[in-house]
Each structure stands twice: as structure tokens, then as C-alpha cells.
Amino acid sequence: MFNYIKRFYKKMSIKQKLLLLFSVQIIIPMAFMGMMFYKNTESIIQNKSVSYSADLLKMIELRMNDFSSNLVSITDDILYDAKMYAILDEKKSEVATEDLRDYCYNLLRRICLSNKEIQSITLASLNEYEYSYDLNAGGVSIESSASFKAMLEKARLAQHKPTWYTEVDEENKVRNLYLIRMIYDSDDFSERGLIILQINRQRLKDVYNDLSTEFMQSINILSKDNKWIIGTEEDWYNEEENEWISNQADNWGYRIDKKEQRLLAFMNIEGTEWKIVAEGSLNQLVNEEMGHFRFLFIIVMTFTILLLSIFSILMAMDILSPINRLVHSIKKVEEENIHQEVIVDREDELGYLSKCFNKMSKEIDNLLNRVYKEELTRREAELKALQAQINPHFLFNTLESINWMAQLNNVPEIRDMVTSLGALIEASIGKGSPMVPLSKELKYIDSYLLIMKNRYGERLSYESDIDTSLLGQEVPKLILQPLIENAIYHGIDKMRKKGTIKLTIRREDETIYIEIMDNGKGMLPEEVEDLNQKFKEDRDDYILGDNRKSIGLANVNGRVKLFFGKDYGLQIESEYETYTKMKLYLPIRD
């Protein structure tokens, strides 16, 4: 690992090393200060959040007590009303007097309408004969809204005091909430009936809803067995947290989840079996309470970083400026072979290096001039040697003489071969433009094939499929003849059966696609893969089996890439003993 870091460091540029050095000098002190800052604020945040949550839960408890006291007062008023006892004295089979029934209905109605926290109120005798009023329906049966017997048992256990009763549904969730109280006879204290107040749970939530803050967003009221009654999250349930709350013996407690930065606090509501559970985000409290201090910290850190950064940049510029000038001069010498002087304006190690470069650059320039003159002299000698060779006009004159002799002796085959050979020699000499129209290139192919057919006879056949709209496109001169020659000598020459060469030229988007296919011996897959890789890399060592080099393929591929770029050139496709396709891609030019 250390060796890898060492190698990586050595590969870094001087600029990167300087930036790394200055960054470390800035980041490490800043990181240390930031760590100390947040370490000190952690205890402050925790103490602040615990104190805040305790005050909030206590305030909710006081409001809940006021809410409960108001409901208890309503039951007291009912107990003090003598007419209520007269109603409870009636048997279920008897009909109460019209006045008593109206009085009871109006009383219950008045209580519901004047106390929005009450959803419905029911006055029931022990034989379940009842009077009730509901804000939604105007009347409700205790038999359909809750279990009367269960309420009765719990009211007896309360011993003359009001108590809370929760009704759960099939999913074991609290569906309705009731305040119930047993009615006793004022003379002999015998049981006379039951007062049942169904509570509007939304009104219960309104008691503390305005106390919710960005820090303490989740506030829920739970029953004795941790069933959700009302609050922010109806689906609030966490098995681990429920178990922790249930195991607490104190009236209030809290826990902090440092991983999620979350505070969980609870408080038992006096006079009930309920508890308040609140959750808050410590991160939110940081934003609220530590905002000013953090702003000051950011200003100090920003100023420090800015000051150190300016100093670092100035130091880096002083070191890198002469290095960059030196690198620029080296590139000029490398790319243009031009002597380049570096300005020397310092006496340190970089100044000494610049002086040495100037001396070396001047010496290299002298050597290049000498080598150039030697190369020029050598080329002139080669040109003179070439001029001393046979004049091409002599070849043309000789071929023309053979042509006339063939005509005089009525030998058209010789005449045609000589004419074709002359056309090919004229093209190969290289006079004129290196680019010719595709139509002229195809004439060269016709001349070459005429010569080859005289050699191979019926063993060689030729087919073509050419898009005539491309005939005016210019292509490199003699770009197709080496491919045809390659197909004949490496594909068909050693065959006993009839060989066929097919030339296809068509347009593919903005590309001229040329395909030369023969039904010769083909190539092995590894040979095809090797050739295509060499085509792509523009290498000239193309071996076509049996150690046969194809100089023509190297010439064609190299010329195409030289003229049009690396995106164009040759590709090969072949199947052994079946066929070979030479594919040539050229650009369509305006």
C-alpha cells in the first residue's frame, strides 16, 4: 500500500503536489476546529432538547388535565340534577312521562352543543335503558357504539370517580374514546346507572396542536398498553421504543438516538392511564439554537481559508510560473523544432535550470540544421539516381510498337493486353492528381481484369453491382486494383474450381462502401482477427497465411487513413474454404 502511494505521488505534477500541500495546511486546522466546535455543542444541544421537551410535555399535561376537568364538571352537573334520578327509576317496559323525556333530551342536547369536545352523551340505566344525543345523528344506541358491560365493570373499579374507556376495532386500534362515570343513589349509594361521554378526538388533539414546533413535530397520546389514541402519526409504532417506554417506572423519561440525531420523550398524564410521547430532531434544534454561533464560525473560517488560499496561490504562481515557461518552450522545440529561449529572471534553482535549457536548445538547433542539410543532400542524390533510370516514355513507345505489330498481324488479344498494360503503367507512374473519379478507377480495374482473364481463362469470372450515382466521387488513384489482385492471388490462384470475384459499391449514409468478394480458400478466424487489428492500428506487416505478405493491403489501408483519417480504411471478413470479403470505407465528398 505504501509503495502504491509512493508511486502515485511521484506521478503527480508539481502543480498537483503544491495544491495538495497547501490544501492539507488549510484543511487539517479547519477540520480540527470544526470537530472541537461540534464536540462542544453536542452536550449543549442535548441539554437544551431535554429541557425543552420536558417543558413541552408538562404544558400538554396541564392542558389535558384542564380538558379532563371540564368533562368531569359536566358529569358532576348531571349527578346534581334530581330529574336524572327520576328518569333512571323508570322500568324499561314503562314509558316515561313526556316532560321527563323532553327534559332529558334537551339537557343532553344542550351539553353536546355547548361542549364541542363531546361527540355524544348517553345516560343509561342498569337494565340498559338509555337516553342519548349524538352531534352527527341526534341519537345513538349504547349497544351499537360500545360494550355496555365492559364500561360498567370499569366504572365500578373507579369507585365513584370518572374514568376513561377506549374502544378498539378489529385491527386492535382505538376506534372511540369515552369518559364514563357510575351514578349512585344519594340515599343508599346503590348503583343507579352510567354516564357515558363519547369524546371528539380531533378536539382532544386541538388541546396541544398549537404546541407542535419544527423541533418537536411528532406528538402522540397513547393508552396504558401503548395503543395510539390521537396525535401526529396514526401508524406510530416502534416495538423497541414501546418496550422501552413500558419498562420506565418514572412519570417521565427520555432517550437520544445519536445515530439518527433524534430525541424520544414521554410523560404520564396525571389522573389518566395515558401517556404523551413526543419525538424531536436534534439537527433541527441545532439549526434554531446554534444558528448565530455557526454563522460566526463560518465567517471566521471563510476569512481564514480565503487568506490562506490567497497566500497559497501567490506561492504556487511564483514556483509554477518559470516551470510553465520552461515546459512551453520544451513543447515548442519538440513540436516545431525551433530554437526557443526562456526568459531568466531569477537566480535560484529554477533560474539555473532555465539557463541550462537555453544552452541545450541552441545546441539541438545546430544539430538539426546539420542533419537537415545532410538529408537534403541524400535526397538530391536519390533523385539523380532515379532520373538515370529508364525513361517511362521509352516504355510507352515500346508498348505502342507492340500494339501496331499486333494489329498488322491481326492478333487482337495482344493488342488489348498491351493497351490495358499501358493504361495501368500510366496510372502507376503517378503523374497528375493523386485523386481520380470512381468511374476512371473502374476503368483501371477493367484493364487489369482483361490481362488476368487472358491468363486464367474460364477459371476467372467477374461480377459488379455499382451505384452509378457515386461514379463522380473522387477516390485515391489505384485504390481498388491491389484489392482485386489480392483476391486473385491469395484467394483464387490455387483453386481448381471456377473462381468468382464480385465488386459491390454502394452508399451507406455519408460513406462509400466498397466490397470485393471472392469464393477462394478463405482464412482462419485467428488470421481474420489479426488482420483487422493490424488494419485498425495501420501496421504494414500483413501476413496472409503461408508467410505471404500483402504489401498492397498495407498500401491501400495506409493511403486511405492518410487521406481521410483513422475512421476510414479496410476491414476483412472471411470463412475458411468458403469466401473472403475485403471491405473498404471511404467518405462521400462534395
Q: Would you state the pLDDT for residue 372?
A: 65
Residue 14 domain flag: no
Q: Would you state the pLDDT for residue 438?
A: 92
Q: Would you state the pLDDT for residue 373?
A: 67
Contacts of 231 (CB under 8 A, 6+ apart): 205, 218, 219, 220, 221, 277
Contacts of 318 (CB under 8 A, 6+ apart): none
- Specify whether 196 is located in the same domain as 105: yes
- Specify whether 111 is located in the same domain as 149: yes
Q: What is the DSSP string of 527-585?
A: HHHHHHHHHHHT-S--B-STT-B-HHHHHHHHHHHHHH-TT-EEEEEEETTTEEEEEEE
- Mean pLDDT per 10-residue run, the chain (590 residues)? 74 73 75 74 74 84 87 89 76 60 86 89 78 68 62 86 84 81 84 88 82 74 78 67 75 80 82 81 67 73 80 77 77 70 76 79 74 62 45 54 63 66 62 82 86 82 92 90 88 82 93 94 90 80 50 81 88 91 91
Q: Would you state the pLDDT for residue 551?
A: 63
Residue 532 domain flag: yes
Q: Report the alpha-carbon distance of residue 135 to residue 118 in Å, rounded.
A: 8
Q: What is the CATH number of the domain that holds 133?
A: 3.30.450.20
- Specify whether 503 is located in the same domain as 573: yes
Tell me if residue 491 falls in helix, strand or coil.
Answer: helix
Residue 69 domain flag: no
- Specify whether 162 is located in the same domain as 98: yes
Residue 515: is it exposed, middle or buried by C-beta count within 10 angstroms (0-12/13-18/19+)? Answer: middle
Q: Would you state the pLDDT for residue 375?
A: 64
Q: Which domain holds residue 517?
A: 452-587
Residue 528 domain flag: yes
Residue pair 282/52 in contact (Cβ under 8 Å)? The answer is: no
- Specify whether 188 is located in the same domain as 242: no
- Specify whether 466 is located in the same domain as 550: yes
- Specify whether 266 is located in the same domain as 159: no
Q: Would you state the pLDDT for residue 125?
A: 81
User: Which grid coordinates are listed for 104?
Assistant: 332529558
- Specify whether 563 is located in the same domain as 463: yes
Residue 319 domain flag: no
Residue 543 domain flag: yes
Q: What is the DSSP string of 428-439?
A: HHT-S-SEEEHH
Residue 86 domain flag: yes
Residue 509's alpha-carbon distances to 90, 473, 585, in angstroms, are 102, 14, 11
Choose one of 176, 203, 230: the last residue of a domain.
203
Q: What is the CATH number of the domain that holds 260?
A: 3.30.450.240
- Specify whether 560 is located in the same domain as 483: yes
Residue pair 133/120 in contact (Cβ under 8 Å)? The answer is: yes
- Specify whether 194 is located in the same domain as 231: no
Residue pair 339/329 in contact (Cβ under 8 Å)? The answer is: no
Residue 213 domain flag: yes
Q: What is the CATH number of the domain that holds 458?
A: 3.30.565.10
Tell me if residue 104 falls in helix, strand or coil.
Answer: helix
Sheet of 163-168: strand order equals 130-134, 118-125, 191-199, 174-184, 163-168
Domain count, the chain: 3
Q: Report the alpha-carbon distance of residue 245 to residue 448 in Å, rounded.
A: 99
Choose one of 270, 289, 308: the last residue of a domain.
289
pTM of the model: 0.45
Q: Report the alpha-carbon distance of residue 237 to residue 218 in Å, rounded.
A: 12
* Angle at the Cα of 253 from the Cα atoms of 249 and 257, rounded to 5 degrees: 125
Residue 152: is it exposed, middle or buried by C-beta count within 10 angstroms (0-12/13-18/19+)? Answer: middle
Radius of gyration of the chain from its Cα atoms, rounded to whole angstroms: 52
Question: In degrees to the nearest 10, what's the CA dihedral of 21, 25, 30, 32?
Answer: 100
- Specify whether 564 is located in the same domain as 500: yes
Choose one of 152, 177, 203: the last residue of a domain.
203
- Specify whether 460 is located in the same domain as 559: yes
